[in-house]
């Protein structure tokens, strides 16, 4: 089947020809997405559209047809890269927890880095202990599947000192640990590594488009499981940067692994930081599944991220970083505790991560409400969304 779409439908023309073609391509490709399943009757053919070719034609021929055609082609090519990177992130997120262990996620990252000839490091539990990654090790110690810290280096501008640090939460399954979650809906916790999948989608964009930036991509990955070895309330962990943390809630584990992730990025030269995480149920209460919550210590960097999100059509809503929220993390037994009141909990969780930025510009993106859908939307299907791949792709490839 062939399909003809007039450019006027998506506002093509003028300087927006390329961006219009990109937007149309992304929407079309992502709207055709079909989730992989383990059904016996499932087949890869179901994921292939019956549409063989799509022809885009301007409603009115532009004055410079050659230049417009080149812009259309460039926009479509860019849109294909962005859409395929989102689909990649969706597929990784949708994998069941017994298939995607921390080791398997690390191997997936390794495979992606090798595909694009990028340097990488993978820390197993022994190497993580040598580095003092107490947050990562504490969260992962209850599982038979040990944790991993993954680092991918992208050097697109070797002469520049500026380096992005992009950290994605990679909890491949979250039971809540000793503070175990209710059984209803726990199967959706396969998505607790949605932040890791999104940053891997961004790695794919970087590898394909090769923008002139430097970035270190960090994925702390673990399973949060209850067992006789699991960390428990009242324990005190020493984080990678030496900060001690009293555990008051083992289901507040994402912020612990992210703290070590930020330190890992900073020690590898990151000058500005973005973390992406399915961090709190509180952000879902506040914003539903329609917007990603953000916390920042730098308005200028946050404005850059929001501007990119508007290009991508992904909503971000800034949450307050009031000092009263930060004081919720004060502790008698250690430097900090890993939780506070449930009131303002999304901000409090973000501010825990912010305590590990070493005063670097930083934006936290809480995708707990937007990384996974319980029902289909227009161009997003039930399950993993790959949210923030396109926003961060725009941020890293503009200009």
**Nearest CA among 394, 395, 399 for reference residue 22:** 394
CB 397 within 8 A of CB 211: yes
| 3-class secondary structure per residue, 290-357 | CCEEEEECCHHHHHHHHHHHHHHCCCEEECCCCHHHHHCCCCCCCCEECCCCCCCHHHHHHHHHHCCC
Burial code of 307-341, b = ≥16 C-beta within 10 A, e = fewer? Answer: ebbebbebebebbebeeebbebbeeeebbbbbbbe
Residues sharing a CB contact under 8 Å with residue 348, sequence separation 6 or more, in sequence order: 325, 326, 328, 329, 339, 340, 341
Q: How far apart are CA 203 and CA 312, in angstroms?
A: 17
Of 107, 7, 121, 118, the C-alpha closest to 54 is: 7
CB 270 within 8 A of CB 165: yes
The secondary structure of 208-238 as a DSSP string is HH--S-EEEEEEEEEEE--STTS--TT-EEE
Would you state the torsion angle of the CA atoms of residues 202, 206, 211, 213, taken in this order, to the nearest 10 degrees? 70
Residues 6+ apart with CB under 8 A from 125: 137, 140, 146, 147, 148
From 36, 181, 315, 360, the catalytic residue: 181
**Run of H or E residues at 393:** helix 389-397
User: How far is 134 from 209, CA to CA, in rounded Å?
Assistant: 36
Active site residue 160: no
Q: Give the 3-state secondary structure of residue 173.
A: strand
CA distances from 43 to 30, 37, 100, 381 (A): 19, 9, 21, 18
Q: Is 255 a catalytic residue?
A: yes
From 255, 326, 337, 390, active-site residue? 255
Q: What residues are labeled active site?
A: 181, 255
């Amino acid at each position: 089947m062939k399909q003809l779409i007039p450019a006027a439908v998506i506002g093509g023309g003028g300087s927006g020809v390329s961006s219009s073609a990109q937007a149309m391509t992304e929407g079309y490709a992502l709207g055709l997405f079909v989730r992989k399943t383990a059904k016996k009757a499932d087949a890869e053919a179901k994921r292939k559209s019956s549409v063989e070719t799509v022809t885009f034609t301007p409603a009115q021929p532009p004055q410079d047809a050659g230049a417009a055609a080149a812009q259309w082609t460039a926009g479509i090519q860019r849109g294909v890269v962005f859409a395929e990177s989102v689909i990649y992130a969706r597929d990784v997120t949708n994998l069941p927890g017994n298939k995607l262990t921390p080791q398997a996620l690390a191997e997936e990252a390794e495979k992606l880095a090798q595909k694009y000839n990028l340097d990488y490091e993978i820390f197993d539990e022994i190497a993580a202990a040598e580095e003092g990654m107490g947050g990562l090790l504490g969260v992962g110690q209850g599982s038979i599947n040990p944790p991993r810290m993954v680092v991918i280096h992208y050097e697109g501008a070797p002469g520049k000192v500026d380096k992005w640090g992009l950290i994605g939460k990679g909890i491949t399954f979250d039971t809540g640990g000793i503070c175990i979650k209710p059984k209803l809906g726990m199967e959706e916790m396969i998505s607790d590594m949605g932040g890791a999948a999104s940053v891997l989608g961004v790695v794919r964009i970087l590898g394909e488009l090769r923008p002139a930036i430097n970035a270190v991509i960090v994925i702390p990955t673990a399973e949060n499981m209850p067992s006789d070895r699991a960390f428990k309330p009242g324990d005190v962990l020493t984080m990678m940067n030496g900060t001690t943390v009293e555990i008051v809630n083992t289901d507040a584990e994402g912020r612990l692994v992210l703290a070590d992730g930020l330190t890992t990025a900073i020690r590898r030269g990151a000058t500005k930081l973005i973390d992406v995480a399915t961090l709190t149920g509180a952000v879902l209460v506040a914003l539903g599944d329609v917007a990603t919550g953000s916390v920042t210590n730098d308005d200028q960097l946050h404005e850059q991220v929001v501007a990119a999100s508007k290009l991508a059509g992904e909503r971000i809503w800034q949450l307050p970083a009031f000092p009263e929220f930060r004081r919720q993390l004060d502790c008698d037994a250690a430097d900090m505790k890993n939780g506070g009141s449930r009131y303002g909990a999304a901000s409090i969780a973000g501010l825990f991560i912010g305590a590990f930025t070493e005063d670097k510009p930083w934006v936290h993106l809480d995708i707990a409400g937007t990384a996974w859908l319980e029902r289909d939307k227009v161009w997003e299907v039930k399950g993993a969304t790959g949210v923030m791949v396109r926003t961060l792709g725009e941020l890293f490839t503009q200009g």
